[in-house]
Amino acid sequence: MATKTKEGAAAHSDAETAAEDATAVEETARTGSGDEHPEPAADRAAKEDRAPQAGPEEDLDEDGEPEARVPSGVGQGAGAVVSAALGLVSLSGGWIGTVAGARQQLVGQLRTSSTATVAKQIKAVYGDAWHTTALWAGVFALAALLTGVVVLVRPAFGTPGRPQTPWIKSVAWAGVSLGVIGLVLAVLKYSDALLALPSAG
């Protein structure tokens, strides 16, 4: 009788062990992990936090990579307007040219004696002032020309295939044209080819 009891207890223990092994196999199959040492959940969460993720504000292309930002063209528009404004100023010499001419006229009056010849007085009082005004007009014209050219050639060094806004191109060309005209007029005035000083004889 005692032998049968021991055999029954051993059989019951073997059945429990087999049930535990079957439960462990089912849990392993359910989780889909064949590793003997599964990775803890804390380590998996830390790896996910360290993984690079695209920001919410970045636009992704078809390959999943961030797209390059396209320039808005605000700087080119500002440059075109500045070029046109400088071109307009170069036609008249501007306030700086007027002040510089008046100063040169005053210097000529102070340095010229009353006994000097009429031709020398005209040149010192009016000629030098006229040349100073023409010089400043040429400076503004050259600045307008260079600024307009920079705006026009800027798209060649920017994003490929992005055309320049039509109004920016038009204003830049206007600045270049005014700069060329102002530069030609400044050279003619400075060389006395245009509106030369009257002769004293």
Walk along the chain (201 residues) and give the pLDDT tens digit of each residue: 444 454 555 555 566 666 666 666 566 656 554 444 555 555 665 566 565 554 444 455 555 555 555 556 788 889 999 999 999 999 887 888 888 888 888 888 888 777 778 778 788 778 888 888 999 999 999 999 999 999 999 877 766 667 778 899 999 999 999 999 999 999 998 888 877 777 765
Q: What is the pTM of this model?
A: 0.60
Two tokens, residue 11:
């059989």
What is the 8-class DSSP label of residue 66?
A: B
Sign of CA dihedral 63, 65, 66, 72: negative
Q: Give the residue from 95, 78, 81 showing the smallest Cα distance to 175.
A: 81
- Give the Å distances, CA to CA, from 134 to 27, 88, 108: 94, 14, 17
Provide the b/e sequence for 99-135 (b: ≥16 CB within 10 Å): ebbeebbeebeeebeeeeeeeebbbbbbbbbbbbbbb
DSSP H helices in the chain: 2-31, 41-50, 74-92, 94-111, 118-122, 128-153, 166-190
d(CA 170, CA 165): 9
Two tokens, residue 172:
């830049």
Q: What is the DSSP string of 155-175?
A: GGGSSTT-PPPHHHHHHHHHH
Longest CA pairwise span in the chain (Å): 158
DSSP-derived 3-state class of residue 60: strand
